[in-house]
Structure formats: C-alpha cells, structure tokens
A and B are shown apart, each in its own frame.
Chain A
Amino acid sequence: QKEVEQNSGPLSVPEGAIASLNCTYSDRGSQSFFWYRQYSGKSPELIMFIYSNGDKEDGRFTAQLNKASQYVSLLIRDSQPSDSATYLCAVKRSGGSNYKLTFGKGTLLTVNP
C-alpha cells in the first residue's frame, strides 16, 4: 500500500463548480497534512495545511481531515480556469524529530471555461 494515495485524474469541472480532491494515507501516526498546487513546469506552492479533524477554510479553499478514516480532502469552490493545475497531497509522519514529508502522485484538475 502506498503511503499517500491520490486519484491521478484528470478531474474536469466547469467554471464556477466545486472541485473535490481526495487523498488517503496509510500511517495512522501521521500528524499534519498539506495541499500543494503545481502548475506545469513550476514548483509546488503551499495552499493549506491541516492538523485537526474537521474542516479548515481559507477563501475558496476548504481542507477536510478525517483521521479515523485516514483521508484528507480539498474542496475548491467557484472553480476558475486559473485553478487548473496538479494538486499534491503531502503527509508529515510522526517519529520524534525525524519528520518525513511524503507526497502523493497528485491529481490533475482542469477547470473548463
């Protein structure tokens, strides 16, 4: 089982719709969860992080974490063509000061005008 799994997509949504991106992880000791956006040919940029169960909102983005089910999701409301990118889920594993940051393979999102 992969440590961090994402549906590779592509996920296609119309402009103005809600895009839902999902991620599951295998290590129950994982502590922190991150969502990055990566445009083609660019480096990943941090969108949000979440530590606690529940929802965390930042503008049009909402991260949701369910540790019991070991999944984290990202909702993008009012999707715009500029949101078209690959979205990467990352998980920080536990272990004293020995912090690994492990990524899923990413989900390609296309927002159609």
Chain B
Amino acid sequence: DAGITQSPRHKVTETGTPVTLRCHQTENHRYMYWYRQDPGHGLRLIHYSYGVKDTDKGEVSDGYSVSRSKTEDFLLTLESATSSQTSVYFCATADRGFTEAFFGQGTRLTVV
C-alpha cells in the first residue's frame, strides 16, 4: 500500500469551529492534493501543493486554507466549519513525473 495516511479518519464537529485535517506521506512525492467527494459532484479539488510552501487554489477553495511546511505533510484547515463542508475528504500525492498518483484512505467529516 502507498504510504499516505490521513488523520483523523472520522470527525464530527460543530458549526463555527476550526478543523484541521492532516495528510502524511512517506513517498517523497512532490505534489499533494486535497479533494472533497460528495454525491453527484464527484471529486472536487480544494487546494494543491507543488512543493514545500508552494500551494494554489482549486475549484472549491472558499472556506479552506492549506499549509505545507515540509514534504511529508499537507494540512487542510476549515477556518469556521459549516454544514456545507460535511463531506468525505481525500488527500492524494503524485511524484514528479506523475507516474505514481495515490490516494489516502479518506476522512469523513460531519459538521452539525
């Protein structure tokens, strides 16, 4: 199995609270991605990183921020969680040549 670990795997939080999801990789991959997956919408890109401290927005970035201070870790923060952010969140990584592109196990987040 690819060395990509997401934590936590499940979380229930209240509206208005900050939440941070972590993606940790041992593949030494350059690229890292955060997606959310919702019924009828497929996988939608939130933010991505193309190197340490190099990040950019995806198609659904509002309400989310990211940080990547080292190659192994990519953090996704919901500054003030809303019910619309209830979803399954996936992290993915890819090597420089994009010959390997793997997903983590996913985090199921429920905002009540």
Chain A positions within 8 Å of B, measured between CB atoms, are 32, 34, 36, 43-46, 49, 88, 90, 92, 97-106
Q: Cβ of B90 < 8 Å from any Cβ of A? A: yes
Q: How far is the CA of A20 from the CA of B67 in the complex (A)?
A: 40
User: How many chain-B residues does the 8 Å CB contact rule pick out?
Assistant: 28
Residues of B within 8 A of A49 (CB): 98-99, 101
What per-residue 1/0 map shows which CB atoms of B77-91 lie under 8 Å from chain A? 000000000000010
Nearest residue (CB) in A for B4 is A43
Are A100 and B98 interface neighbours, CB within 8 A? Answer: no
| A43-B48 in contact given A98-B56, A100-B58, A104-B42 (Cβ < 8 Å) | no
Q: How far is the CA of A13 from the CA of B80 in the complex (A)?
A: 45
Interchain CB contact (< 8 A) of B103 among A32, A44, A98, A104: A44
Min CB–CB distance A58 → chain B (angstroms):
13
Min CB–CB distance B55 → chain A (angstroms):
10
Task: Give the 10 A-B CB pairs with smallest separation, nearest first.
Answer: A105-B42, A103-B43, A43-B103, A97-B50, A44-B103, A43-B106, A32-B98, A43-B105, A106-B42, A103-B42
Interface of B is mostly: strand
Residues of B within 8 A of A43 (CB): 90, 103-106
Residues of B within 8 A of A46 (CB): 100-102
Are B92 and A101 interface neighbours, CB within 8 A? Answer: yes
Nearest residue (CB) in B for A101 is B33
Q: How far is the CA of A32 from the CA of B95 in the complex (A)?
A: 13
Min CB–CB distance A47 → chain B (angstroms):
11
Residues of A within 8 A of B35 (CB): 103
